[in-house]
Structure 1
Amino acid sequence: MSRPVTPSPGPLPEPDDISANPSGNRLFADVLTVRLSRRTALTGGVVAAAGFLGAGAAGGEAAAAGGARQRRRLLGFQPVEISSADTLTVPDGYTAQVLIPWGTPIRANGPAWRRDAANTAAEQAQQIGMSHDGMRFFPLGPDRGLLVLNHEYADQLLLFPDGDAVMTAEKVAKSLAAHGVSVVEVALRRGRWELVDSRLNRRVTMATPVRFAGPVAGDHPSLRTGAEPRGTLNNCSCGATPWGTYLTCEENWNEYFATDDPSWVPTPEQARYGVTREGYGYRWHQGDPRFDLAATPHEVNRFGWVVEIDPRDPTAKPVKRTALGRIKHETATVTESRGRVVVYTGDDQVGEYIYKFVSAGRWRTMRATGRHPLDHGTLYVARFDDDGTGRWLALAHGTGPLTVANGWRDQADVLLRTRQAADAVGATPMDRPEWIAVHPHTNEVYATLSNGPGFPNAANPRQPNPFGHIVRWRERHGDATATTFEWDIFLLAGDPAFDPSVPLDAAGMFGSPDGLAFDGDGRLWIQSDISNSSLNNPRTYYVNLGNNAVLAADPVTGEVRRFAVGPRGCEMSGISFTPDHRTMFVNVQHPGEAVATMDRPTPQNPRAVSNWPDADPDGRPRSATVAIRRRDGGVIGR
């Protein structure tokens, strides 16, 4: 593996890598520095604090003393090697089946995929969308269930036969249809998963009517545009409720809005969310005035929410649950405690925060009495303190600085301006909070922090922090509704060639952790999202790490093994298991997207970076859901 003599952070940063947080709140990097200086335990990939792991995952120190053999069995597969090939690699003894790539008709009589991307907007609305991301499997019986998956965004160069140099109303409509969510029934037949022609199959797109619930609902002035609310946008990660619904998260919604009006300037609230006159290149406002910031100024307020979808009721409108706040939601991880429902979520941008929502009462009682558990409760934001403790700060109108006297009108105002409310109460800025996962046995909470630019202080443990890390915490008494917690760092990601403090070897080194999930045995599955400006780039710290990957970690020993490596240009995203844990569904997102070190895809050659999964000489790369199984039918990972 080659190593540059003078590595640099690389090309221009992605939008998420640029902070929009002007607050003076103490940075997590500063807190982390003090915390790291107060302990020296760094063992097997886990950065551990005395007193934290002692009662921790899978028995903590007791397991460490007597369960070494059992812990070694947690990762039973042979790791795959780092790769930059245009293929999906899985361990020996496993198979990977491409199940539903972009363009697959969701019903048997639906429009067929056209490899030249000539499908119309109306046809795309009846096909699997683009850029597969967060996903959940809802069982319907033995060997069958509903796959519900997000479509984060559209690569418009690949979406249209002639690319996106010229935008039209039809192109905007097709891009709108390529976004959103797919709900499809699948079944395992003769060892292979198949798409089932089901009445439950449907698409939720940017044209789908939705409704708002919670404090920002009904005819709230901030939502008025003169048109019915429609659509969900930039759907990243997800969650599932105990009552069987799907939560999809609207992340980088700000990127789609723009205007050609030179007199338009963002309000402070819009600037805090990164809304700009230029947008980020979609140019939807040129074909649909709802995305023109000057023409329809309130449309932007309809996005940035967690959206609830009932996968078993095709007639039900998706509902935007505003009590969970308006941010760039990366995830909506649901757990239960004392009968209440708790939702953890991250705000995916450099310098943003980690949040949780706690329902006002026991969710079963609330539903029985007609109160929705996600409409009534308290939204909190996290503060991490030097001594390894932390506090959840309530974002409740009338408490602390969030008063009328300080310019906060009501709770709806707090939720519409969630980022500014979190600034005001003193939350801790983080390095791009991503997915969050709760350990199924210990209730410890893990969160990926993808990367950050580093901060100008001599004590910062990594400056810059291009690789990211995973932080974890334990709520007081193991109660997810508590307002205090203990925290530490589970894992520093990276390449030890550039950072000797990284305890990973060739079998498990990676960077930019993003997707995160536990299986029933307690394995922590990690998915990487190295930006395509850094992927395999000799000018960056990522030169040795190859394509994006899926890895598994043992939460007790800290051992990490690489489980799968994706094709060129992709992000590995979305992860879900069947109840028997004998099938893992993962998403290969945006294969073939432009990579800094390769020729750029063009309408004439969309295959410049990747031709996965079809290897069609006249086709184009396609995001896809993949079903991974062991050849012997055993449990994944053992």
Structure 2
Amino acid sequence: MSAQHPVFPQVDPDDVSSNRSDNPSFGEVVQRRMSRRGALLGGTAAAAAFLVGPGAGSGAATTSTTGPHPGTGHGHGHGRPGGGGRRLLGFEPVPTSDADEFVVPEGYRAQVLIPWGTPIRPGGPEWREDAGNTAEEQAEQVGMNHDGMHFFPLGHGREGNQRGLLVLNHEYIDQELLFPDGAEEMTEEKVRKGLAAHGVSVVEIERRRDGRWERVDSRYARRVTGDTPVTFSGPVGPRHPALQAAEGPRGTLNNCSNGVTPWGTYLACEENWNNYFGTTDESWEPTPSQERYGVSAAGGGFDWHLADSRFDLAANPNEINRFGWIVEIDPKRPDAKPVKRTALGRVKHEGCTVTESRGRVVAYTGDDQDGDYIYKFVGEGNWRLQRALGRSPLDHGTLYVASFRDDGSGEWLPLVHGRGPLTRANGWADQADVLLRTREAADAVGATKMDRPEWITINPKNNDVYCTLTNGSGWDSAVSPRDPNPYGHIVRWTEKRRDHTATTFEWDIFVLAGDPAYDPQVDLDETNVFGSPDGVWFDNDGRLWIQTDISNGSQHLAEKGYDNIGNNQMLAADPETGEIRRFLTGPRGCEITGATATPDQRTLFVNVQHPGETTDHWGEATAEDPRAVSNWPDFRPNGRPRSATVAITRVDGGKIGA
């Protein structure tokens, strides 16, 4: 096959940039850096030093396929061990798949746990396979489209590995599958059920003697939905004029990835919140700030504004300002209001990865839209002292945005009122204004445009920071090695002195995703070829877990360069050797997302999001035929596909991945 790529999409179908600034892009930065090094990607020793690719293609040419097994899977392949005598990756890679099944390596078991519609407490309203549950029933059930999550142990030692709270996000809804009659006509009841299917679920689970996990009754069990009362804290407080709307503040929407604080709370992150708002008022026009966030009269296809004035941009213009925040939830205080922490900025938060450095809390977040930015919040003092004084460590500190340079260095630019261009003379009223218009503030200081910055994770062994860049329209920037960039890549950086509070860093590219059949720069093979990295997470041993989210407009399509990559998948990588192996593959139409483990690392939890969603390759899922693409995980003749958490264990009881 020719080394020239096919006609790649100029942008991911799910995401169109709203960044009209002249700021430099990561692609420009990467290209200039490579030019300075005098190297072509993948072609010289200099390029090999720049990309961690030499070990990334570590896999032999033989694999074997697996047979279907509803709800579980088994597969095996062959790949050489990681460099030296250490085997951080101790499993045989599974092959790519186009089957409607969930496949894990030989010697592993996969158990479907808490699919959409599961009662959060035993005895709650049961799932109806015709999607006939009411809004009230859905509010007592696990929500739709599982995403980021975390396992909070209940107890210490062995007990903490056997019992805990699983807290998970529900990013969005598929209205064709959520309602018996689909999305043909929007009604108030459908809006209410849609709100109930969003948000966060808190479920207590316990491991039985036979090794299987089960949901158990719990005083902590809780749903946080799009209607749950919330409050605001930080510079944009609950009384701020921009937050005053027709009713009190309620709900969280489009929660993608997540974060966990050192004091044991959960952070849900509001991503594509603009999609829920619209208006039929022909006199309405978006402000420049609304336009920068992708707000439009048509909205994102939910049409809630047709049945509920809360989501009508003209009738209730401030409601939209209540979304786009990091939301703190205490899983052990089910009566406490979720708090939107405004000091961390208002963007389309993909996630919020929290660490501590020199006693201060540090939080990284990506703004998941083509051409947007990476941010970091640094607390102003010791977080333990802050809490002892009754203050939230997330309310007091400095928000920064990243600038990547083509010499491999970078700088964190402060978004502080009165500094640089963020002054009253330039139209910035105060710090609350900076945070309400975070994207515009980042534009003003000259941040680097990125190819859809997604999840961020930190290597526990050396404090390096990794960020997935899913794909992009090909920004002419140093940090984007392709124009366009349909496959994405993973960038990593090291803060100065490995101190997360530092304001400078050094960066490189960990791996370039894609298919070498179409792009000779890519150093992957059949044991690890992947595209569109999204979820990324380090376990305690230092394995980097990579999850993919290939658009359903690209999966399996040769004209998009995705015909050899198969269904979405999860891989494991050794950051030292660069070795990558495919660990699992998901069913048709799904995204693989969310990763968390028990403290002993003997159970890994992952999420299968939107199985059975309409794809260009497999067809259209409709209210009349919800099983057109997938019928996972139940495979019932009159059922429908359901997002679900999957608990993965080893047959021999060992650590996952080892």
Cα separation, 2, equivalents of 1:398 and 1:316: 35
- CA distance in 2: counterparts of 1:46 and 1:316, whole angstroms: 54
Evaluate the alpha carbon distance shift between residue 294 and residue 581 of structure 1 in structure 2; reply closer, same or farther with a 3 A threshold. Answer: same
Distance 2:234 2:194 in 1: 29
Q: Quick one: distance in 1 between partners of 2:2 and 2:32? A: 31
SS at match of 1:32: helix
Q: The residue matched to 1:447 in structure 2 has which SS?
A: strand
CA contact (8 A) 1:494 1:510 kept: yes
Residue 83 of structure 2 aligns with an amino acid whose one-letter code is A
Give the C-alpha shift of residue 458 in structure 1.
12
Relative to structure 1, the CA distance from residue 473 to residue 52 in structure 2 (aligned partners, 3 Å threshold; closer, same or farther) is: farther
Aligned match of 2:163: 144
How much has 1:431 moved relative to structure 2? 0.2
Contact 1:357–1:377 (8 Å) recurs in 2? yes
TM-score by length of 1: 0.95
Does the 8 Å CA contact 2:362/2:500 hold for their aligned counterparts?
yes
- C-alpha contact 1:48 1:490 (8 A) present in aligned 2: no
TM alignment of 1:174-573, pairs within 5 A = 174-190=193-209, 191-455=211-475, 461-573=481-593
What pairs up with 1:37-76 in 2 under 5 angstroms?
37-39=35-37, 40=39, 49=49, 68-71=83-86, 73-76=87-90
Counterpart in 2 of 1:109? 123
Q: Is the 8 A contact 1:527 1:549 kept in 2?
A: yes
8 Å Cα contact 1:512-1:529 kept in structure 2: yes
Report how many aligned residue pairs link the two structures: 622
Equivalent residue of 2:558, what SS?
A: coil
Counterpart of 2:84 in structure 1: which amino acid?
R
Structure 1 residue 70, shift from structure 2 partner: 3.7
Q: Which amino acid aligns with 1:636?
A: I
1:9 aligned partner, one-letter code:
F
Separation in structure 1 between the aligned mates of residue 44 and residue 375 of structure 2, nearest angstrom: 29
TM-score for the superposition, normalised by structure 2? 0.92
The verdict on how the C-alpha distance between 1:581 and 1:456 changes in structure 2, with shifts beyond 3 A counting, is closer
The 2-side partners of 1:5 and 1:615 are apart by: 41
Aligned counterparts of 1:7 and 1:120: Cα–Cα separation in 2: 46
* Letter aligned with residue 498 of structure 1: Y
Deviations along 1:64-104, one digit per CA (max 9) or x if unpaired, are xxx93344x01100000000100000000000000100000
Distance 1:336 1:29, change over 3 A: same
Report whether the alignment pairs 1:92 with 2:106.
yes
- The answer to whether structure 1 residue 166 and structure 2 residue 191 are counterparts is no
How many Å separate the matches in 2 of 1:319 and 1:530?
32
1:22 aligned residue: 20
**CA RMSD, 1 decimal:** 2.1
Letter in 1 for 2:241: P
Give unmatched runs, 5+ long, in structure 1.
54-66
Residue type at the aligned position of 2:427 = G
| Alignment check: 8 A CA contact 1:495 1:510 kept | yes
Distance 2:259 2:479 in 1: 36
Amino acid corresponding to residue 306 of structure 1 in structure 2: I
Does residue 9 of structure 1 match 2:24?
Answer: no
User: What is the percent sequence identity of the aligned residues?
Assistant: 66
The separation in 2 between residues aligned to 1:192 and 1:127, in whole angstroms, is 21
CA spacing shift, 1:45–1:183, aligned 2, 3 Å: farther
| Deviation for aligned residue 1:5 | 9.2
Cα distance 1:46–1:634, how it changes in 2: closer, same or farther (>3 A)?
farther
Q: In the TM superposition, what whole-angstrom CA distance separates every residue of 1:288-345 from its partner, at most 9, and x where no partner exists?
A: 1110000000000000000000000101100000000000000100011000000000
Deviation at 1:454, TM superposition (A): 1.3
CA distance in 2, matches of 1:458, 1:484: 17
Equivalent residues of 2:51, 2:510 under 8 A apart: no
1:256/1:3 CA distance change after superposition, 3 Å = farther
Q: Where does residue 82 of structure 1 map in the other structure?
A: 96
Where in structure 2 are the equivalents of 1:592-603 lying within 5 Å?
592-603=612-623
Aligned partners of 2:26 and 2:476 also within 8 Å: no
- Tell me how far apart the structure 2 counterparts of residues 148 and 577 of structure 1 sit (CA, whole Å): 12
> Any idea what SS the aligned residue of 1:80 has?
coil
How far the C-alpha of 1:6 sits from its partner, in A, is: 7.0
Q: Is 2:657 aligned against 1:637?
A: yes
Q: CA deviation at 1:613?
A: 0.1
> How far does residue 548 in structure 1 lie from its aligned partner after superposition?
0.2
CA displacement at 1:556 relative to structure 2 = 1.1
Letter of the 1:96 counterpart: A
SS at match of 1:173: helix
- Note the C-alpha offset of 1:37: 2.8
Equivalent position amino acid for 1:14 in 2: P
Q: Could you tell me which residue of structure 1 aligns to residue 78 of structure 2?
A: none
Hey, what's the Cα distance between the residues in 2 that align with 1:266 and 1:226? 19
**Secondary structure of 1:187's aligned partner:** strand
Aligned residue for 2:560, secondary structure, equals coil
1:32 is matched with 30
Deviation string, structure 1 residues 513-543 (Cα, Å, up to 9, x no partner): 0000000110100000000000111221111
- Does structure 1 retain, via aligned residues, the 8 Å contact 2:203–2:222? yes
Deviation at 1:598, TM superposition (A): 2.0
1:94-150: CA deviations, max 9, x gaps?
000001000001111210000000000000000000000000000002110000000
Change (3 A) 1:531 1:202: same
Of 597-606 and 107-116, deviating more is 597-606
Aligned-partner Cα distance in 2 for 1:544–1:510: 9
**Could you say which residue in structure 1 is the equivalent of 2:143?**
129
Residue of structure 2 equivalent to 1:609 = 629
User: Are 1:48 and 1:488, in contact at CA under 8 Å, matched by a contact in 2?
Assistant: no
**Equivalents in 1 of 2:403, 2:255: separation in Å?**
27
Deviation at 1:199, TM superposition (A): 1.0
In the alignment, the residues of structure 1 paired with residue 42 and residue 111 of structure 2 have an alpha-carbon distance, to the nearest angstrom, of: 39
Say which SS state the counterpart of residue 371 (structure 1) adopts.
coil
Give me the whole-angstrom Cα distance separating, in 1, the residues matched to 2:515 and 2:246: 53
Change (3 A) 1:379 1:217: same
**1:101 aligned counterpart, secondary structure:** coil
In 2, Cα distance between the equivalents of 1:200 and 1:505? 45
Q: Sort the Cα spacing of 1:546 and 1:268 in 2 relative to 1 into closer, same or farther, 3 A.
A: same
Q: Structure 2 stretches of 5 or more lacking a match?
A: 54-81
CA shift in 2, pair 1:176/1:607, >3 Å: same
